[in-house]
Amino acid sequence: MQITNALALLASLAGLAHAFEVSFPNNTGGYWVTNHTNTLNWKANSSDPTYFSVQLLNSNNSQLNGNFQIGNALNTANGTAQIFIDQIPSGTYTLLLVNSSNYALDRPQVYYTSSSFEIKPNGTTPAQVTANTNANPDSSSTKAATGSASATLSSASSTGTARQGNSNGTLGSNVAIMGTVASVILGLGLGLGLIV
């Protein structure tokens, strides 16, 4: 019974472990422009994984059919990245920050869901971006990652490349998995220690 309670507590706290927060784009005027390189800014803490991927989501399947990967193996410490999106219909979207080692686009392990934001048509003047004070000053957004995306009304395809470290995301995947395993083991140890 006590072990069950400890496991239930651990499971409920698991969602609190990640502290990602996207500060740009946002729902207060921070929009992106299609066919343009756009800035992604985020905050994180030491409990967040070292690497993550970014998926674009639109609840209107006629604009974007399902989750759409636009950035892969971004280094969490950078706090910023430049994401190029092309041929995405203008509209309201959400970003999902997901596990880099889980490539099931329809069932990703989601670390964070952003607030809704707008993607404006090509030719729109880009929104003013405030510098990310949470970004690592030793990294540049050009080292973080770039993505390329395209969509039609019924289907989507995407590519993304990392330019820092291991370009295939293997290192990030291994780090994310080891961090998750360590968190569970530590959590179980602490939970069981509290029961005794």
Question: pLDDT tens digits, residue range 117-140?
Answer: 999 999 999 999 988 876 655 544
**Does residue 44 surpass a pLDDT of 70?**
yes
> In this structure, what token pair is assigned to residue 111?
């670390």
**What CA–CA distance (Å, rounded) separates 38 from 85?**
8
What confidence tier does 196 reach under pLDDT thresholds 50, 70, 90? very low
| Composition of the chain by helix, strand, coil, percent to 5 | 25, 35, 45
* 31-60: average pLDDT: 95
Of 40-54, 68-82, 97-111, the one with minimum mean pLDDT is 97-111
C-beta separation of 58 from 64 below 8 A:
yes
Q: What number does CATH give the domain 19-168?
A: 2.60.40.1930
> What is the chain's mean pLDDT, rounded?
71
Alpha-carbon torsion, ordered 83, 81, 160, 87, to 10 deg: -10
**What CA–CA distance (Å, rounded) separates 196 from 188?**
12
DSSP states of 133-184? TTS-TT--HHHHEEEEEEE-SS-EEEEEEE-SS-TTSHHHHHHHHHHHHHHH
What confidence tier does 103 reach under pLDDT thresholds 50, 70, 90? low
* 171-181: average pLDDT: 38
